[in-house]
Chains A and B, each alone.
Chain A
C-alpha cells in the first residue's frame, strides 16, 4: 500500500463508518448513532469557536485595539459590551448583561423592522395587485394568485365565524394552503433523497472503490 494512499483511505473509511452509524438510526436509536451525533455536535462547536476567534475577535477587536488604537479606538466599545454579556453567569450581577442585550436588540430591530415590512409585506402586497382577465395565460393565472391570497388570508381571520360565503372562502383558503404544503412535501422528499443518494454514491463510488482497489 502506498504511503499517499493510507491517509485518504483512513478518512474515507471513517466517513463510511460514520455514515453507517447514522443510518443505523432508521432501525432504532442506538449507541452507535448517538456517538456519531455527539461527534458532529462536538466538532461543529469546536470549529465554530475557533472560526469566530480568527474571523471576528482577532481581526476586529484584538488587532484593532492593540495595534491600531489611535485610528479605530471605538472598536473597544463593542468589546466592552461583549465582556458585559458574560455577567449572565453571575446571579448577583446578571442585570449588567441587559445593557449589551438592549443595544443588540435595538440595533437589530432598527435594521430589520422597516426592511422586513417593506420586503416581506409591502412588496408581496403590491405583487398581488396584478392585472387579471382571460386575454392571455399570465392574466388568467393571476386570477388564481389573487383568489388564493384573499382566501388564504380569510382562513386566518378569526374575528368572524367561518360560515356561509365567508366560510366557503376560508375553505378555499385551506385548499390553497394544502396545495402549498403538498409542494413543500414534494420538495422535502427530493431533498432527503438527494442526501441519501449522495451517501450511497459516497459509499459505492468513493469508499468501496478505494477498498476494493486496496485488496
Chain B
C-alpha cells in the first residue's frame, strides 16, 4: 500500500486531530491576514454612512447561542458603526433563544461612557486625518449611547412571519412594551416611529429561516430596504436576492464580519482575530481533498491496469 492509498483510507479522526492542531496553532500565533472588502458588505457600510445623525434603523438579532460565534462579531461591528454615525437602533429578535443574545450584544456594545468617548475620538481623529470629510461629527463626543434614547430592545415574540407583518402596520401591535416592560410611548427613540415607513432600513442578522420571512414580508410586502447578516452555511443561498435587488447588502459568516470590522476599523474584532485560523483550516481541507482524490484516482488506475493484465 503506497502513500496515496494510505491517505485515501486514513481514519477521519486523524484528519480532525490534524485540523484541530493547525487551527489552534494559527489561533495562538495570530499572524495578519489581509481582508479584501467585497461590494455586498461595502454597500451596507455605505448605506449606514449615508444616514444622518438621529436616523433610525431596525436590527433583528435572529439567532440562538449556537450561532453566537459567527454572528456576534458582525452584530458588534454594525452596532459600532451605528454608534459612531449617531444612528439610532431599534433592536428586536424573532428567534426563540435570541433574547439573551440581543440583550447581551446591545448591553456590551453600549459600554461605559469613558470607553465610548475614547472610541469615538479615536475614530473621528482617524477619519478626519484620512478624509477630512465634513460629514463626520465634531471631535468631542456629545453623549453616551443611552438606552431609550439611542437604542432600544423590543424583545421577542413568537411566529416571525406574523410579527414582521404586524410591525409593518404598527410596532405597538406586537410590542406594546419593550423587553423591560416599558411602554414604547415612553421611549424617546420610539417617538414618531409607527411602522417601517419611519425607519431608514432593516438589517436581519440571522441563523435561520427568518431571512426568508424578512424577504417575503418585510421587503416584499412593505418594501423596507433590507440587508442580511448570515451564517456561513446560509451565505451562498442568498446571493441571488442581492442580484435581484431584494436586499441591498449581505454579510456572510466570519469573512463578511471581518470585512465589516475592517471597514469600521474595529481592530479588536473577533472575526478578524479568527481569520488566520480560517485560512489554515481551508488550506488544510484543500490539501486533504487533493490528497484524497489523488489517492482515489491512482488506486483506481492501478486496479484498472491490474484487471487489464489479468
In which size bucket is the chain B interface? 35 or more
Are B220 and A198 touching (Cβ within 8 A)? no
Known pairs A193-B278, A197-B23; A52 contacts B220 (CB<8 A): no
Are B216 and A112 touching (Cβ within 8 A)? yes
Find residues 202-255 in chain B having any chain A CB closer than 8 Å to their own CB.
Answer: 215-217, 219-221, 231-237, 240, 243-246, 252-255
Give every chain A residue within 8 A of B68 (Cβ-Cβ): 198
Find residues 153-176 in chain B having any chain A CB closer than 8 Å to their own CB.
Answer: 155-158, 161-162, 165
Give every chain B residue within 8 A of A120 (Cβ-Cβ): 215-216
Are B96 and A191 touching (Cβ within 8 A)? no
Complex Cα–Cα for A139 and B98 (A): 42
A127 interface hit (Cβ, 8 Å)? yes
Say how far A98's CB is from chain B's closest CB, in angstroms: 21
Of B70, B216, B236, the contact of A115 (CB 8 Å cutoff): B216
Of A115, A186, A187, A193, the contact of B277 (CB 8 Å cutoff): A193
Known pairs A55-B157, A187-B233, A193-B278; A200 contacts B23 (CB<8 A): yes
Complex Cα–Cα for A127 and B244 (A): 5
Are A55 and B282 touching (Cβ within 8 A)? no
Residue of A nearest to B257 (CB): A194
Complex Cα–Cα for A126 and B155 (A): 37
Give every chain B residue within 8 A of A27 (Cβ-Cβ): 13
B69 interface hit (Cβ, 8 Å)? yes
B16 interface hit (Cβ, 8 Å)? yes
A7 interface hit (Cβ, 8 Å)? no
Known pairs A55-B157, A119-B219; A198 contacts B253 (CB<8 A): no
Find residues 18-46 in chain A having any chain B CB closer than 8 Å to their own CB.
Answer: 26-27, 44
The number of inter-chain residue pairs (CB within 8 angstroms) is: 122
B113 interface hit (Cβ, 8 Å)? no
Which residue of A111, A127, A183, A191 has the most chain B CB atoms within 10 A of its CB atom? A191
Find residues 95-139 in chain A having any chain B CB closer than 8 Å to their own CB.
Answer: 111-112, 115-116, 118-120, 123-124, 126-127
Interface string of A164-175 (1 = CB under 8 A from B): 000000000000
Complex Cα–Cα for A186 and B237 (A): 12
Residue of B nearest to A119 (CB): B220
A214 interface hit (Cβ, 8 Å)? no
B296 interface hit (Cβ, 8 Å)? no
Complex Cα–Cα for A126 and B243 (A): 11
Are B216 and A116 touching (Cβ within 8 A)? yes
The majority secondary structure among interface residues of chain B is: helix
Are A190 and B158 touching (Cβ within 8 A)? no
Are B165 and A111 touching (Cβ within 8 A)? yes
Complex Cα–Cα for A121 and B220 (A): 12
A157 interface hit (Cβ, 8 Å)? no
Are A197 and B277 touching (Cβ within 8 A)? yes
Give every chain A residue within 8 A of B13 (Cβ-Cβ): 26-27
Which residue of A47, A56, A180, A186 has the most chain B CB atoms within 10 A of its CB atom? A186
Complex Cα–Cα for A187 and B246 (A): 21
Are A123 and B232 touching (Cβ within 8 A)? no
Complex Cα–Cα for A187 and B282 (A): 10
B59 interface hit (Cβ, 8 Å)? no
Say how far A43's CB is from chain B's closest CB, in angstroms: 10
Are A188 and B233 touching (Cβ within 8 A)? yes
Are A191 and B236 touching (Cβ within 8 A)? no
Say how far B302's CB is from chain A's closest CB, in angstroms: 27
Of B27, B155, B240, B253, the contact of A124 (CB 8 Å cutoff): B240
Are B221 and A115 touching (Cβ within 8 A)? yes
B91 interface hit (Cβ, 8 Å)? no
Of A118, A123, A190, the contact of B282 (CB 8 Å cutoff): A190
B281 interface hit (Cβ, 8 Å)? yes
Say how far B222's CB is from chain A's closest CB, in angstroms: 11
Of A55, A112, A183, the contact of B161 (CB 8 Å cutoff): A112
Give every chain B residue within 8 A of A56 (Cβ-Cβ): 157-158
Complex Cα–Cα for A180 and B240 (A): 11
Interface string of B12-48 (1 = CB under 8 A from A): 0100100010011001100000000000000000000
6 contacting pairs across A/B (C-beta < 8 A): A119-B216, A127-B244, A145-B243, A195-B70, A196-B281, A198-B274
List 12 extra interface pairs beyond A189-B282, A193-B278, CB under 8 A. A51-B99, A111-B162, A120-B215, A127-B245, A190-B255, A190-B278, A191-B70, A193-B281, A194-B70, A196-B23, A200-B27, A204-B28
